[in-house]
């Protein structure tokens, strides 16, 4: 049936009106019509689209009710990693942060009269990335581990505040927006009220509600949840886009394109104005319509951000200043000692349940025996419980005035509560450890869980409960036993069918091909995290060289001090550890290695130089070009500055090429770049 021209015109006008009303409501916070009028327009468009389905467009305001349920979430690789932020809990830490910024800028020869900081409330929600292609919402993903997240596109499309198409025409063809999805306090209260009326489980706090809503496999459920978003930055962006000079200017662009930006954001100058902003926001925290747990300070100038750079997985130019944790009083009923994967005994307080910071807390950490003595905490005491950083519950102190006569001192056990081995506490160390090593079931389970975790060997499907069953059944005694498991053994486990067993066997086989950095991290060596494992891998190139290195040699590796070096040497000197590693390699666990004898020693030809890549190269990908430059000692940056040594410009190079020419930075076309690589590699 042909659609009358006037109907087409009316539907187009209704879509435009509704999109404008959404922008005024969610972005400008200045609605121009009452809700009833918005609802009338919405129903009118809905009726037209029902009569003429051909009128429905992907970005129509009516297309937010959710698609068909998903079987599972796919994975999305973040082109630009979603980094974490360092935390500050005290004024002194903020002052130290500002001092480090000033010192680094001064060292780089950059003069200033106080640093301009973009201050933003730290929302208590879920970080997401939203990719727009030619202005239309293309894909959305969770933060995940920072490198890989979950595909939640259909769920994010249901959030009314998220534009399905950007406003205006000056947005980049490719734009990845970063933001925080949250649930407003009023929406959270209404959601829990409905759940209570239906006899359903209620959510503990708005953050849990937002996270649970976004990770629904059925988008129709997400569509019923009162979710909102504030955008705070960008990730991937088209090279043709001329980036603003400041973070605050970028936020203004996002707002102009129809993306909600927090109205509390403000640019201040210097450390004291940061602290003033923090104090004012803390005062109005309870009156805000959404939950926040602190303030984020970011150096406003992008060129200074580039100069300051990053450390591990966090930028040096930003910090999250957390609000004081919420505290409550309760009784310490008992203390149990948990044994971790490295054998450390941690005293855990069993508490009379108490509601703190949005959750019911019945357990809290006491850290170690030194802390127990310092705080003078006893069993039976009335204690103050705090959710440190609003996350980890801890016992802050006891209230001596309320101490009962029958209170009992907390005593460190002499034998491991799991395996009965002697408990050892080395001189000068706060931690006490079980001496049972691999004989201790608790350490065995935790070591295997860590080994199989996402950032280690990434064995999909080998979760905590399955590991515990495998150890309890005697099927795994060390991590190498994972790789000789048979499908029939797995299928016999509780709640594990033939198909699940087959999938797990395949996942185990796939995990055999890994990287040296992941393998080192998976071994669970004390204080060897992801960054240290990566540094060791890049420095030595092979496992044998690391195993043979002494304490002095290891300290030549970036970020490896004497204590970490001693832990590494002690680990590899243990016969049982050597045996397990040999078993793993015999089972087929492998990675690419560089022959230490062929490893380049001494300075690299491009040491101290900074290169920028732009445009498309016909002979290799950008990642390959970046790797080749880094192998020659160069640093590869994302933006051009006066400090840039050269810009490599491929086909369709954009604003980076223009900026390089304006600044007089050397520009290499692809032919010149290949000639340089050939010359320096020969």
The residues annotated with a catalytic role in the active site are: 122
Residue 580 structure tokens: 């397990």
Say if residues 528 and 572 touch (Cβ distance below 8 Å).
no
- β-pairing, 646-649 vs 610-614, is parallel
Residue 679 to residues 605, 606, 648, Cα–Cα distance (Å)? 10, 12, 16
Alpha-carbon gap, residue 245 to 306, rounded angstroms? 11
DSSP string, 439-457: G-HHHHHHHHHHHHSTTTT
φ, ψ for residue 48, nearest 5 deg: -60, -45
Tracing tokens 């959750």 back to the chain, one arrives at 359
Alpha-carbon gap, residue 284 to 127, rounded angstroms? 23
What 3-state DSSP class applies to 91? helix
Alpha-carbon gap, residue 185 to 226, rounded angstroms? 10
φ, ψ for residue 424, nearest 5 deg: -115, 135
651's CB contacts (< 8 A; 6+ apart) are: 615, 616, 617, 618, 670
Nearest to 161 by CA among 254, 44, 68, 33: 254
What is the number of helices (H) and of strands (E) in the chain? 24, 24
E strand or H helix that includes residue 183: none
Tracing tokens 């087409």 back to the chain, one arrives at 8
Tracing tokens 């090279």 back to the chain, one arrives at 239
Alpha-carbon gap, residue 235 to 242, rounded angstroms? 14
Residue 255 to residues 6, 250, 261, Cα–Cα distance (Å)? 33, 9, 6
Q: What is the CA radius of gyration of the chain?
A: 28
User: How many residues are there in the chain?
Assistant: 682
Neighbours of 641 (CB within 10 A): 17
Say if residues 638 and 626 touch (Cβ distance below 8 Å).
no
DSSP secondary structure letter of residue 458: -
Alpha-carbon gap, residue 318 to 625, rounded angstroms? 29
Say if residues 669 and 652 touch (Cβ distance below 8 Å).
no
Say if residues 390 and 124 touch (Cβ distance below 8 Å).
yes
- Classify residue 108 as exposed, middle or buried by CB count within 10 Å of its CB (0-12, 13-18, 19+): exposed
- Classify residue 652 as exposed, middle or buried by CB count within 10 Å of its CB (0-12, 13-18, 19+): exposed
3-state secondary structure 128-158: EEEEEECCEEEEEEECCCCCEEEECHHHHCC
φ, ψ for residue 168, nearest 5 deg: 75, -160
Alpha-carbon gap, residue 377 to 542, rounded angstroms? 48
284's CB contacts (< 8 A; 6+ apart) are: none
The number of C-alpha atoms within 13 Å of 51 and in the hemisphere containing its C-beta is 12
Residue 507 structure tokens: 């996942």
Say if residues 183 and 208 touch (Cβ distance below 8 Å).
no
Say if residues 677 and 627 touch (Cβ distance below 8 Å).
no
Measured in whole angstroms, how far is the alpha carbon of residue 619 from the centre of its chain?
34
């Amino acid at each position: 049936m042909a659609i009358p021209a006037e109907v087409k015109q009316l539907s187009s006008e209704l879509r435009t009106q509704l999109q404008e009303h959404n922008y005024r409501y969610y972005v400008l916070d200045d609605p121009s019509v009452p809700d009833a009028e918005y609802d009338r327009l919405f129903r009118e468009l809905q009726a037209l689209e029902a009569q003429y389905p051909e009128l429905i467009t992907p970005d129509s305001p009516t297309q937010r009710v959710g698609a068909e349920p998903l079987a599972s979430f796919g994975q999305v690789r973040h082109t630009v990693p979603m980094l974490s932020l360092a935390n500050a809990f005290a004024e002194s830490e903020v002052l130290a942060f500002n001092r480090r910024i000033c010192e680094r800028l001064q060292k780089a020869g950059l003069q200033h009269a106080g640093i301009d900081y973009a201050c933003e409330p730290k929302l208590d929600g879920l970080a997401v990335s939203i990719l727009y292609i030619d202005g239309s919402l293309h894909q959305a993903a969770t933060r995940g581990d920072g490198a890989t997240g979950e595909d939640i596109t259909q769920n994010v499309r249901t959030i009314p505040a998220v534009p399905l198409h950007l406003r205006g025409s000056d947005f980049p063809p490719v734009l990845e927006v970063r933001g925080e999805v949250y649930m407003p306090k009023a929406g959270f209260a209404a959601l829990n009220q409905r759940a209570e009326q239906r006899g359903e489980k209620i959510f503990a706090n708005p953050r849990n509600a937002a996270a649970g809503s976004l990770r629904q496999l059925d988008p129709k459920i997400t569509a019923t949840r009162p979710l909102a978003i504030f955008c705070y930055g960008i990730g991937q962006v088209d090279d043709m886009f001329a980036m603003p000079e400041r973070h605050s200017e970028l936020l203004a662009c996002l707002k102009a394109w129809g993306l909600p930006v927090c109205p509390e954001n403000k640019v201040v100058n210097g450390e004291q104005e940061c602290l003033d902003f923090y104090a004012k926001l803390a005062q109005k925290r309870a009156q805000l319509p959404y939950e926040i747990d602190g303030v984020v300070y970011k150096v406003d100038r992008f060129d200074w951000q580039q100069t300051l750079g990053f450390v591990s997985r966090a930028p040096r130019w930003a910090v999250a200043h957390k609000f004081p944790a919420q505290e409550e009083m309760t009784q310490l009923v008992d203390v149990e000692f948990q044994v971790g994967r490295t054998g450390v005994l941690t005293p855990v307080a069993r508490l009379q349940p108490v509601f703190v910071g949005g959750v019911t807390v019945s357990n809290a950490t006491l850290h170690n025996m030194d802390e127990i003595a310092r705080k003078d905490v006893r069993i039976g005491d009335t204690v103050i419980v705090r959710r440190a950083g609003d996350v980890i519950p801890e016992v802050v102190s006891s209230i001596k005035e309320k101490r009962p006569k029958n209170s009992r001192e907390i005593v460190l056990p002499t034998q491991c509560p799991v395996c009965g081995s002697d408990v050892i506490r080395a001189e000068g160390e706060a931690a006490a450890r079980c001496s049972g090593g691999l004989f201790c079931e608790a350490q065995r389970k935790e070591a295997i869980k860590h080994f199989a975790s996402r950032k280690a060997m990434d064995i999909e499907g080998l979760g905590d409960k399955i590991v515990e069953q495998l150890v309890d059944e005697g099927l795994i005694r060390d991590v190498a036993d994972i790789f000789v498991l048979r499908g029939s053994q797995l299928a016999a486990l509780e709640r594990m069918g033939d198909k699940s067993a087959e999938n797990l066997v395949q996942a185990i086989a796939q995990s055999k091909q890994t990287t040296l950095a992941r393998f080192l991290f998976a071994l669970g060596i004390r204080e060897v995290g992801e960054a240290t494992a990566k540094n060791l891998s890049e420095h030595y190139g092979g496992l044998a060289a690391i195993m043979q290195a002494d304490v002095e040699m290891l300290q030549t590796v970036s970020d490896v001090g004497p204590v970490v070096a001693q832990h590494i040497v002690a680990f590899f000197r243990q016969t049982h550890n050597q045996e397990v590693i040999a078993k793993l390699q015999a089972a087929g666990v492998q990675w690419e290695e560089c022959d230490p004898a062929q490893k380049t020693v001494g300075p690299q030809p491009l040491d101290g130089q900074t290169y920028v890549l732009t445009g498309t190269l016909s002979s290799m990908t950008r990642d390959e070009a970046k790797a080749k430059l880094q192998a020659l000692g160069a640093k590869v940056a994302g933006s051009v500055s006066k400090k840039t040594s050269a810009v490599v410009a491929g086909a369709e190079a954009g604003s980076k090429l223009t900026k390089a020419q304006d600044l007089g930075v050397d520009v290499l076309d692809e032919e010149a770049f290949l000639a340089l690589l050939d010359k320096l590699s020969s």
